[in-house]
Structure 1
Amino acid sequence: MSGPLTGVRVLDMTSVLMGPYATSILGDMGADVIKLESPEGDLIRQVGPSRSGAMGGMFMHANRSKRSIVVDLKKPAGRDIALALARTADVLVYNLRPQAMERLGLGYEAVAGARSDIIYVGTFGFGQDGPYAAKPAYDDLVQGLCAVPALIADAGDGTPRYAPVNIADRIVGLHALAAILAALRHRDRTGEGQRIDVPMFETMASFVLGDHFGGLSYEPPLDLGGYARLLAPDRRPFRTADGYLCAVIYTDRHWQRFIDIAGRDDWRDDPRFASHASRTRHMAEIMKSVAAIFLTRPTAEWERLLGEADIPHARMHTLDSLVNDSHLAAVGFFPILEHPSEGSVRTLRVASQWSVSQPRPERAAPRLGEHSREVLAEAGYSEAAIQRLVEARVVACPNAGD
């Protein structure tokens, strides 16, 4: 291992997506990430097709650069194993509700008793000092609470919809990642570990309101909030005479050049187009007019005209065409790895480029319990003790004999 986090060990007690996404990035950066799974395994192993039936694509991408150990935490010996692993870990990340961690005997005080300077990070639904503290949370629920479906309805046909990506899980996962890195830096300076809670609701509320707080930022409010440009019904890929094209006509210079292309000289003296502020106020009606203009020419002609005018634009990909994008191919974004149970797997390169300590996936996503024996041995368990734990079904390994 040679990444920037080489030497950092992470005990990953998360499942599904939010926590695993954050810890996979830590693993790509060189941390030794030990994924502790229940005997049933992470539920997301079953999402999507896989050759073995237990390695779906979403799991593969969110759990690479990790080792897997299976432990039944409901058994006292399983709790002892978790604490033994915590003693060797710099960071513990979980996404159970804190009350569940307490019931397992793995609350912050218990874990800090095993290692006082550990960074103990919870990624769960809600801050623990509010009335929602004990509620369960999923991506769809948090999107709804944070007005994402309502905003989509305002910008569309009036029908609330969820964003078709796990936007809350991934955004909150990135916030958890930032918190972990900052906490490691704090510990480097002070020697102090600490507990960190990263609640989904508060994190996503901040994310959404950063764009849409608007006049609600003031007391008393100046308006009802909402960024008009983002909510314009025709802010979408423009339908052309033969397809779709994405275009961003944003600055004064862009608008002057688009007016030339469109042949709409009457817009030059129209006060709606006079400044960015006035265009924003009238964005819905302006975008409706622009959408009608895009219908008059085919996509290739619009690409040529917008390219000559230096107006930002891009074709609208489908999932299939995205995977075959020429730029991504040129930068080697989809390396092929050989997985022991899945065969050839197309993975995703780390997007950032580093001049010295380039992060990269160090290993393919693990089979369930693939590293149980080696992780326990590193924690000081003898081979005989490990075998007794296997026979008692406290831990599990993928070997046929187990």
Structure 2
Amino acid sequence: MGKLPLAGVRVLDLTSVIMGPYATQMLAEYGADVIKLESPEGDIMREMGPAREPGMGPVFLNLNRGKRSLCLDLKAPDSAAVLRQAVESADVFITNMRARALKKLGLDWAALSGCNPGLVYVFLSGFAEDGPDAGRPAYDDLIQGMVALPDLVARAGGGPPSYLPLNLADKTMGLFAAQAVLAAMLQRERGGTGQYIEIPMYETMASFVLADHLGAASFEPPLGPAGNPRLLSRYRRPYKTLDGWISTIVYTDRHWEAFLRLAGAGRLWEEDPRFRSMASRTRHIDEVYAFVDEQMALRTTDAWLALLKDADIPAAQSPDLDTLISRLEASGQGVVRRYRDQDGNEYRGLAPAARWSKTPPQAGAAAPRLGQHTEEILRELAQRAGQMR
């Protein structure tokens, strides 16, 4: 791990659930020493889903590998000295606790920057602290609803508003948090100082969604309703073939000319203006995608995959979750790997997908049991404090 980009960087991780742990796992994969600060109750994600042992559920296992767990009761009188030592030794402090609780515990920016001016302090809030909803609790479902994702699902599918069946907001926020840490560390290395960074979940996700869907409302006055017509088409989905499902995107002019020829309707390229340009296809998106839907139902999945591959049109079989997992593990692509816990039991986990030529990220050891490294970390902090006297 000594050759990794963040080797020697210490991250004090006071986060729980998904958003923060997802960010700090990436930092651990880059070589940072991530100290996961947990209460005696532990991160709530420890109890989510089936587990071989209490407190080691699958979501926790796959968001906390390579970290060290420091169990500390933040309300206990003797915790203040330990926290101060930990903060003094850290490069980064990241938290998703509410601002009021942080201030009460003496863990706000003003308090921590006083004992470590070089600290990069990242506060993951639900809503911007300078906005009208400051201090409100936020979870993935709530934020998905507030940034109109259920409305987009309903408009695209014709059914009731629904959440996306993954923690999209939490994990997107984790990506933004990791990015902010890396940028702040680079700025500090170039002669800057520590600083406070707030990443508000609602405002960040609203921007994330509207990058696709501000649409005609980008202009003043608006040129039409907000939303991306292509993304909202009810036909933008896997297509039913004679024997299964296929995902394909007929997108560019070249794709459409080739696809119409494969469908035995090459004349439409010359005769039907709906197909001839991106602008025209966007205006008639349901009609042109409906044509793809009709054609896909006429051949088997394998037949279409062969034809589309020859035409250089992106296409793939659309698997279920179990097939996806098996396929990734069998392919040797390194995304799904086998790990061993402290007792030697195997489990499946995820590994970094990016390919680096010299210092590739490493997934790290198994996720820590609650408080597994408490004594080890306390010894390190005491030793460092002794050296500084």
What TM-score bracket applies, with the shorter chain setting the length?
over 0.9
1:347 aligns with 2:349: yes
In structure 2, what is the Cα distance between the partners aligned to 1:194 and 1:38? 26
Q: Which runs of 4+ in 1 moved over 6 A?
A: none
Maintained 8 Å contact 2:113/2:119: yes
1:38 has 2:36 as partner: no
Is the 8 Å Cα contact of residues 244 and 299 (structure 1) preserved in structure 2? Answer: yes
Which shows bigger deviation, 325-334 or 93-102? 325-334
Distance (Å, rounded) in 2 between the aligned partners of 1:334 and 1:166: 19
Partner residue of 2:261?
Answer: 260
Q: Is the 1:151–1:231 Cα contact (8 Å) retained in structure 2?
A: yes
Structure 2 counterpart of 1:254, one-letter code: H
Q: Do residues 202 (structure 1) and 203 (structure 2) align?
A: yes
Aligned twin of 2:99: 98
Paired residue secondary structure (1:325):
helix
CA distance in 1, matches of 2:333, 2:315: 21
- 1:88-109 CA distances to partner (integer Å, 9 max, x unpaired)? 0000000011121111111111
Number of the residue aligned with 1:145: 146
> 1:163 maps to what in 2?
164
The within-5 A match list for 1:321-336 is: 321-325=323-327, 329-336=331-338
Partner of 1:122: 123
Shift of 1:190: 2.0
CA displacement at 1:298 relative to structure 2? 1.1
Structure 2 portions without partners, runs of 5+:
385-389
* Residue pair 1:52, 1:341 contacting (<8 A) in 2 also: no
Q: Percent identity?
A: 47
TM-score normalised to the size of structure 1?
0.92
1:23 to 1:295, Cα distance in 2 relative to 1, 3 A: same
Which residue in the other structure is 1:182 paired with? Answer: 183
CA distance in 1, matches of 2:338, 2:233: 41
Give the one of 358, 361, 382 matched to 1:359: 361
2:126–2:138 Cα contact (<8 Å) kept: yes
1:294 aligns with 2:299: no
- Matched residue, 2:387: none
Matching of residues 221-236 of structure 1 within 5 Å = 221-236=222-237
Whole-Å Cα distance in 2 between the matches of residues 317 and 146 of structure 1? 29
3-state SS of the aligned residue for 2:36? strand
Distance in 2 separating the partners of 1:367 and 1:27: 16
Q: Deviation of residue 327 (structure 1)? A: 8.1
Deviation at 1:341, TM superposition (A): 4.5
| 1:309 alignment partner in structure 2 | 311
Residue 241, structure 1, aligned to residue 242, structure 2: yes
Distance 2:363 2:372 in 1: 17
1:56 paired residue number: 57
Distance in 2 of aligned mates of 1:378 and 1:200? 35
Quick check: 27-36 or 189-198, which moved more? Answer: 189-198
Counterpart of 2:371 in structure 1 is 369
2:224 and 2:77 map into 1 onto residues whose CA distance is 57
Give, in angstroms, the shift of residue 217 of structure 1.
1.1
Distance 2:18 2:263 in 1: 45
TM-score normalised per structure 2: 0.95
Structure 1 unaligned blocks of 5 or more: 383-402
CA distance in 2, matches of 1:288, 1:354: 41
Number of matched pairs: 382
Deviation at 1:157, TM superposition (A): 2.1
Q: 1:19 to 1:299 in 2, by over 3 A?
A: same
For residues 52-76 of structure 1, give each alpha carbon's deviation from its aligned partner in whole angstroms, at most 9, with x where no partner exists.
0211111011001100011111122
RMSD: 1.5
Q: Cα–Cα, structure 1 residues 38 and 326, in superposed 2: closer, same or farther, change >3 Å? A: closer
Amino acid at match of 2:162: R
| CA contact 2:329–2:337 (8 Å) conserved in 1 | no
Write the deviation string for residues 3-51 of structure 1: whole angstroms up to 9, x where unpaired.
1100100000000000000000000110000000010000001111111
Distance 1:328 1:162, change over 3 A: farther
* Counterpart-to-counterpart distance in 2, 1:308 and 1:375: 58
What per-residue deviation string (whole Å, max 9, x for no partner) do you get for residues 99-156 of structure 1?
2111111111111112111011011211111111111000001111111010000000
Q: Deviations over 1:261-289 (max 9, x none)?
A: 11124522111111011101110122122
Counterpart of 2:179, as a letter, is: A
3-state SS, counterpart of residue 247 of structure 2? strand
Contact 1:50 1:342 in 2 (8 A): no
CA deviations on 1:156-181 (whole Å, 9 max, x unpaired) are 02311111110000001100110000
Deviates more, 1:288-297 or 1:312-321: 288-297
Q: Quick check: 1:93–1:123 contact (8 Å CA) kept in 2?
A: yes
Query: Equivalents in 2 of 1:97, 1:341: separation in Å?
Result: 36
The one-letter code matched in structure 2 to 1:130 is: G
Aligned to 2:155: 154
Q: Distance in 2 between matches of 1:154 and 1:223?
A: 16
For 1:211 and 1:12, locate their aligned partners in 2 and report how far apart those are by CA, in whole Å.
32
CA contact (8 A) 1:84 1:114 kept: no
Counterparts of 1:341 and 1:197, CA distance in 2: 39
Q: Is the 1:51–1:341 Cα contact (8 Å) retained in structure 2?
A: no
CA contact (8 A) 2:84 2:115 kept: yes
Report the CA distance between 1:325 and its aligned residue. 1.4
In the alignment, is the contact (CA less than 8 A) between 1:259 and 1:267 conserved in 2?
yes
Alignment-derived partner of residue 109 in structure 1: 110
Aligned mates of 1:80, 1:141 — CA distance in 2 = 37
Instruction: Output the CA distance in 1 between the equivalents of 2:358 and 2:295.
Output: 49
Residues 349/99 of structure 1: CA separation in 2 closer, same or farther (3 Å cut): same
Match of 2:251 in 1: 250
Please name the residue that 2:282 is paired with: 280
Change (3 A) 1:237 1:342: farther
Distance 2:275 2:89 in 1: 62
